């Protein structure tokens, strides 16, 4: 096993991960938001509070486009904007009550599909999977 083989194996996993992600998430999100808006909400969910600049950086989106999408999410009452009291140029974005509900529903769907996927795994399998996740998280996808 040289590094070239490892690369190919890794690419194969990336492909599978993308396919499974699609299976887990398709139709899980509300129809009232676009894919990009869902991605933003997902990011806010795990990192809130966040600034528009951070969203722009992490989602590889220009500031103008980030601003536009945040405005739409705000109009849909899914997020709230709070301005920083120290630096009044900055804003902090967090999910609104409705946003929390929407994301909770999406995650419930996704988790139930995930549980289906691992329902046939034995206790030993689950332990192996758990360990494998740790290894890849720390050593490859850091």
Chain positions contacting a copy of itself, by CB under 8 A: 1, 3-4, 6-7, 9-22, 26, 46, 60, 110-111, 114-115, 117-118, 121, 125-137, 139-142
With CB under 7 A as the contact rule, the residue among 64, 120, 122, 138 that binds DNA is 64
126's contact among DNA, a copy of itself, none, with CB below 5 to 8 A by partner kind, is a copy of itself
Torsion of CA 44, 47, 49, 51, to 10 degrees: -70
Query: Of 40 and 80, which has the nearer Cβ to a copy of itself?
Result: 40
With CB under 7 A as the contact rule, the residue among 29, 78, 79, 91 that binds DNA is 91
How many distinct helices (H) and strands (E) make up the chain? Answer: 6, 2
Contact call for residue 63 and DNA (CB under 7 A)? yes
CA distances from 11 to 3, 16, 132, 142 (A): 12, 9, 16, 16
In the chain, the largest separation of any two C-alpha atoms, in whole Å, equals 56
CA-to-CA distance for 58 and 55, rounded, in angstroms? 5
HSE, side-chain direction, 13 A CA sphere, residue 92? 10
Contact call for residue 27 and DNA (CB under 7 A)? no
Contact call for residue 88 and DNA (CB under 7 A)? yes
HSE, side-chain direction, 13 A CA sphere, residue 21? 7
Contact call for residue 61 and DNA (CB under 7 A)? yes
With CB under 7 A as the contact rule, the residue among 81, 94, 96, 100 that binds DNA is 81
**By the criterion CB under 7 A, which residues form the site for DNA?**
34-37, 51-53, 61-71, 81, 86-91
């Amino acid at each position: 096993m040289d590094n070239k083989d490892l690369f190919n194996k890794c690419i194969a996993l990336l492909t599978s991960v993308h396919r499974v992600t699609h299976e887990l998430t398709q139709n899980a999100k509300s129809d009232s938001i676009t894919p990009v808006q869902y991605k933003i909400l997902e990011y806010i969910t795990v990192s809130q509070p966040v600034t528009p600049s951070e969203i722009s950086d992490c989602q590889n989106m220009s500031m103008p486009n980030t601003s536009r999408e945040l405005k739409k999410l705000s109009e849909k009452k899914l997020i709230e904007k709070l301005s920083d009291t120290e630096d009044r140029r900055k804003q902090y974005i967090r999910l609104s009550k409705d946003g929390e509900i929407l994301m909770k529903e999406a995650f419930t769907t996704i988790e139930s599909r995930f549980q289906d996927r691992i329902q046939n795994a034995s206790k030993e399998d689950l332990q192996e999977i758990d360990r494998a996740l740790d290894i890849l998280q720390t050593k490859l996808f850091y």
